[in-house]
């Protein structure tokens, strides 16, 4: 294992003695990197479980304190169908959806919780946008250390369910305050130096799985920017240990959602300093990070590797979820399918050469986000009414469903709908009742007024289905 030398600021370079309570640089507030004195050569230890196969490049933890739920060692899929579709030479998907709690952060929880055990910590406090809290909850069960998780409203439901099921104590807060560690309790967040350090093992693993070669591009999602930095660190370690590495140049591509893309904006400003996003607005909750702690570091490593920073919009992200699921049988959460959305965009814009080898990190499972799954199902299937009912939504009466069916064939006015209900469905109701149903359907967002046409001096208001109505029917 590697002994910790010190913590180094990823922005200003200031160094500090290692302290599990020190999370950010005292000078500039940026994320810290755990710098190591590598004693051994880099070896992949098959005899060890989970993350600990990479013990030779991880901060030292005595074996009796090492915790694992079998994280890491995830599949690297060759994606032939997407290669053909996009016309790219080689595409690999690093499938972190199969981690014990469905997220790449299980690697981080394994390392942090093992340190916590080694330091005799009894209680962990976290504030999390979702995945880290869910992951730490599972590892706190395994280690017997209690966990207090603070989450914000809007958290993905699946992640909240996970935390509760694993037995964490969960509280909902309006905003995350910079919590301080208390006696016997330690705070852990996504930008924690140990949490970030573990993320580098994804790239190290990819290198082994590609038979000791490196891809031309690696595409990673960016929230705090830590994964981009950790990937760069892994690439440097590989070059340090393996002098004759083939194709040493791997470009790092970092992706953010359009509604919250402070690192991408700095990249396009050609600035070396990331400015906080003033009004972040994205439903990709895990990437809604206005002031990324590894932002400047991520920007620097993208530039240094001649990579690219790119943002994608929500439509592109939803399309990418479907694309990945339909082409590869891999169901990713929105924050993870971002990398596929970026790949498509960059190939279309000819920013990635087609004769390249590309690796996309798929960082988390789609099963964690029932709301997005429902939205996709409504867009893609004709089982809308059943889905609404099963998911506890509004159940529409059979008359309303019939009105929607009539409107799915053509736009129609009130009397016409009344007549069709009578003739087609043998339904005898009064005309005012039809208008009441139409009003309800408008209020629920399934129907809207389309146009008013005057025929023989009589005004007729036509009704049509909204996109929501079309999806439902």
Binding site for Zn ion (CB under 5 A): 9, 11-12, 14, 25, 27-28, 30
> Closest approach of Cβ 15 to Zn ion, in Å?
10
8 or 303: CB nearest Zn ion:
8
> Closest approach of Cβ 5 to Zn ion, in Å?
17
> Closest approach of Cβ 11 to Zn ion, in Å?
5
102 or 262: CB nearest Zn ion:
262
190 or 333: CB nearest Zn ion:
190
> Closest approach of Cβ 28 to Zn ion, in Å?
3
> Closest approach of Cβ 70 to Zn ion, in Å?
36
Task: For residue 68, give the nearest of 78, 54, 88 by alpha carbon.
Answer: 54
> Closest approach of Cβ 241 to Zn ion, in Å?
27
> Closest approach of Cβ 14 to Zn ion, in Å?
5
* C-alpha angle 337-195-27 in degrees, rounded to nearest 5: 110
84 or 272: CB nearest Zn ion:
272
12 or 461: CB nearest Zn ion:
12
92 or 294: CB nearest Zn ion:
294
> Closest approach of Cβ 31 to Zn ion, in Å?
9
15 or 247: CB nearest Zn ion:
15
SS (H, E, C) the chain: CEEEEEEEECCCCCEECCCCCCCECCCCCCEEEEEEECCCCCCCCCCCCHHHHHHHHCECCCHHHCCCCCCCCCCEEECHHHHHHHCCCEEEEEEHHHCCCCECCHHHHHHHHHHHHHCCCCEEEEECCCHHHHHHHHHHHHHCCEEEEEEECCCCHHHHHHHHHCCCEEEEECCCCCCCCECCEEEECCCCHHHHHHCCHHHHHHHHHCCCECCCEEEEECCCCHHHHHHHHHHHHHHHHCCCCECCCCEEEEEEECCCCHHHHHHHCCCCCCCCCCCCCCCCHHHCCCCCCCHHHHHHHHHHCCCEEEEECHHHHHHHHHHHHHHHCCCECHHHHHHHHHHHHHHHCCCCCCCCEEEEEECEEHHHCHHHHHHHHHHHCCCHHHHHHHCCCCCCCHHHHHHHHHHHHCCEEHHHHHHHHHHHHCCCCCHHHHHHHHHHHHHCCCEEEEEEEEECCEEEEEEEECHHHHHHC
> Closest approach of Cβ 13 to Zn ion, in Å?
7
> Closest approach of Cβ 301 to Zn ion, in Å?
16
274 or 318: CB nearest Zn ion:
274
Distance CA 32, CA 38 (A): 18
24 or 214: CB nearest Zn ion:
24
35 or 440: CB nearest Zn ion:
35
């Amino acid at each position: 294992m590697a002994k910790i030398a010190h913590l180094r600021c990823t922005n200003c370079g200031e160094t500090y003695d290692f302290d599990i309570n020190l999370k950010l640089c005292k000078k500039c507030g940026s994320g810290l990197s755990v710098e190591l004195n590598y004693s051994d050569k880099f070896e992949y230890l098959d005899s060890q479980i989970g993350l600990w196969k990479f013990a030779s490049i991880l901060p030292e933890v005595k074996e009796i304190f090492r915790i694992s739920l079998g994280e890491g060692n995830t599949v690297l899929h060759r994606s032939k169908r997407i290669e053909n579709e996009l016309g790219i030479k080689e595409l690999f998907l690093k499938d972190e959806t199969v981690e014990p709690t469905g997220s790449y952060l299980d690697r981080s929880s394994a390392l942090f919780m093992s340190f916590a055990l080694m330091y005799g910590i009894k209680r962990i406090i976290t504030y999390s946008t979702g995945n880290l809290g869910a992951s730490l909850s599972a590892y706190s069960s395994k280690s017997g250390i209690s966990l207090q998780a603070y989450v914000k409203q809007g958290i993905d439901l699946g992640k909240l369910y996970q935390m509760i099921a694993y037995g964490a104590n969960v509280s909902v807060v309006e905003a995350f305050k910079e919590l301080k560690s208390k006696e016997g309790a330690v705070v852990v967040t996504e930008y924690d130096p140990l949490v970030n350090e573990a993320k580098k093992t994804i790239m190290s693993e990819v290198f082994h799985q590609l038979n000791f070669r490196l891809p031309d591009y690696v595409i990673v999602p960016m929230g705090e920017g830590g994964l981009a930095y950790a990937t760069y660190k892994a690439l440097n370690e590989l070059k340090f240990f393996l002098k004759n590495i083939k194709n040493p140049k791997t470009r790092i591509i970092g992706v953010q959602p359009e509604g919250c893309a402070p690192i991408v904006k700095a990249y396009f400003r050609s600035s070396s300093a990331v400015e906080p996003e003033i009004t972040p607005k994205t439903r990709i909750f895990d990437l809604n990070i206005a002031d990324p702690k590894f932002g400047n570091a991520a920007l620097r490593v993208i530039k240094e590797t001649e990579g690219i920073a790119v943002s994608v919009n929500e439509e592109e992200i939803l399309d990418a979820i479907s694309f990945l699921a339909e082409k590869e049988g891999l169901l990713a959460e929105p924050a993870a399918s971002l990398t596929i959305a970026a790949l498509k965009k960059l190939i279309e814009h000819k920013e990635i050469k087609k004769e390249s080898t590309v690796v996309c990190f798929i960082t988390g499972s789609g099963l964690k986000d029932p709301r997005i799954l429902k939205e996709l199902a409504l867009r893609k299937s004709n089982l809308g009414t059943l889905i609404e009912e099963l998911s506890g939504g509004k159940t529409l009466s059979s008359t309303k469903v019939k009105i929607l069916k009539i409107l799915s064939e053509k736009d129609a006015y009130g009397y016409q709908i009344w007549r069709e209900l009578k003739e087609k469905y043998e339904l005898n109701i009064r005309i005012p009742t039809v208008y009441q149903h139409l009003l309800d359907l408008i209020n629920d967002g399934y129907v809207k007024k389309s146009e008013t046409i005057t025929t023989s001096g009589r005004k007729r208001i036509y009704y049509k289905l909204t996109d929501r109505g079309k999806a439902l029917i």
